[in-house]
Amino acid sequence: MFHPARHFMSRWTIRLFFMAMIGSAITWLWISRNGKDIGCLSSEECYQALINTAKRISNNAQQPQLQQQLEHQVNQFQQAKQQEDSVALLLKNQQSPMMHEHSILPRVNGAFVALARNREIHAMRSSMRYLEDRYNYKYNYPWIFLNEEPFTDEFKNLTRSMTNAKTYYGQVPSEHWGYPDWINQTVAKECRDRMVEEGIVYGGSESYRHMCRFQSGFFVMHPLLDGLDYYWRVEPGVKFSCDIEYDPFRVMQERDLKYGFTIALKEFYSTIPTLWETTLDFMKAHPDYMYPKSNPDSLFNVITQDDGLTYNLCHFWSNFEIGSVSFLRSERYQAYFRHLDQAGGFFYERWGDAPVHSIAVALMLSSKEVHWFYDIGYKHDNFEHCPTEPDWLVHGKCYCDPKTSFDYVDGSCIKDYLQVTNTTVNDYIITSNEDE
């Protein structure tokens, strides 16, 4: 894709390079002819030698011709050296568009939010590199890092070095990363042991359960998110395979979107056997929080295929999500989270934040408030979303292989989503060839 700003910078970079070459050639040509006469071998030595010689004869009235000659040479050399230094400085500043304030585009009130441990520093830096190179060098959206333990100086220094944006570091409150009073920890351990025997992924992990509970409801309440309109969740070790030629935060704002995703898939039933039953109880108690399922733009049928008798396990994979802070902080969402939290399923089963977020989105929002970020190539672990629309690999400068995209294989819920919303891929392309 043609970028006028980059083209302009590249063109001036080339011009400045040749100016530097010419300035250097003039400087060293003069030194080669006159350097030996004034006793110097480098441009700096010659410059100082000329200055010193000029000072020595400045008061010698008996050598007016020599004085004039040297003053002329000094002026010529100063001009050449100043030109060389100025061009060199300009070239240095042109090396990265991230270094210029004039290249930073207007922002909306958003930030990246990452839950990461100190030992994940290199995977986190990798994720940052992808996003900075593909997108954030143009905007400098801030980064917010959260951890259940204090961040080390190494983590802070190494993440700061990956971006020109501001970085913030916060610790998760202990009450948000531990067992609430109503959980029987003995029973919780028995449940974990049973899930280990059944071979369920993360079945025996306590920390995974604390993470899922935190990401389901508490993360958005952290003080570092105060004042934000939107968050973009970023995990350590994820990859972004396409240039992002627009601002997703601004798209969220301009379209009044509440939630955005890239991958939709089915959850393991064995991790959430009572989640839907618990959700139905909440729906009966709070019908005023539900978006009318009879409306044509309802997302209810994205998560059920039998009018709500059962949950079809479809969910938006929340390791990539761009969301509205006000929605997740709203009373309707937080009431749902508190209801689930009191039920104990985060510890007695293994409820994940992805199905929790997704069920809430499908029950409380309309399809007009949710967006599939189709044109953002994304990979987490072995699951990848790669845009497959014709010519998109070239247009989006994607390196991913469309054949590896998870969108249309067994286990994906994208087909269901498109069918329920009566949309196609083209409805979700923000930047198209026609826009150029």
Its sign, for the CA torsion 95, 97, 99, 102, is positive
Q: Are strands 230-233 and 321-324 parallel, antiparallel or unpaired?
A: antiparallel
- What pLDDT does 423 receive? 97
Inter-residue contact 354 to 261 (CB < 8 Å): no
Neighbouring CB atoms inside 10 A of 21's CB total 12
Task: From the candidates 132, 245, 267, 321, give the one annotated as an active-site residue.
Answer: 321
Task: Fill in the amino acid letter for 147.
Answer: N
The pLDDT tens digits along the chain (436 residues) read 434 444 444 444 444 444 444 444 444 444 444 444 444 444 444 445 444 544 444 444 444 554 555 455 545 545 544 544 443 343 334 333 333 333 478 899 999 999 999 999 999 999 999 999 999 999 999 999 999 999 999 999 999 999 999 999 999 999 999 999 999 999 999 999 999 999 999 999 999 999 999 999 999 999 999 999 999 999 999 999 999 999 999 999 999 999 999 999 999 999 999 999 999 999 999 999 999 999 999 999 999 999 999 999 999 999 999 999 999 999 999 999 999 999 999 999 999 999 999 999 999 999 999 999 999 999 999 999 999 876 666 667 889 988 899 998 999 999 999 999 999 998 998 864 434 3
How many Å apart are CA 265 and CA 257, to the nearest integer?
21
Inter-residue contact 136 to 163 (CB < 8 Å): yes
Inter-residue contact 225 to 145 (CB < 8 Å): no
Q: Which residues of 295-316 are buried (b: 16+ CB within 10 A; e: fewer)?
A: eeebbbbbbbeeebeebbbbbb
Residue 136 burial (10 A CB sphere; 0-12, 13-18, 19+): buried
Is residue 104 helix, strand or coil?
coil
Q: Are strands 370-372 and 259-261 parallel, antiparallel or unpaired?
A: parallel
How many Å apart are CA 225 and CA 17, to the nearest integer?
44
Q: Which helix (H) or strand (E) element contains residue 154?
A: helix 153-160
349: annotated active-site residue = no
- What pLDDT does 105 receive? 84
- Alpha helices (runs of H) in 292-349, residue ranges in sequence order: 300-303, 325-329, 331-343, 345-348
Q: Which helix (H) or strand (E) element contains residue 95?
A: none
- What pLDDT does 15 receive? 46
- What pLDDT does 389 receive? 76
Is residue 317 helix, strand or coil?
coil
How many Å apart are CA 322 and CA 324, to the nearest integer?
7
Dig out the tokens for 1 from the structure: 């894709």
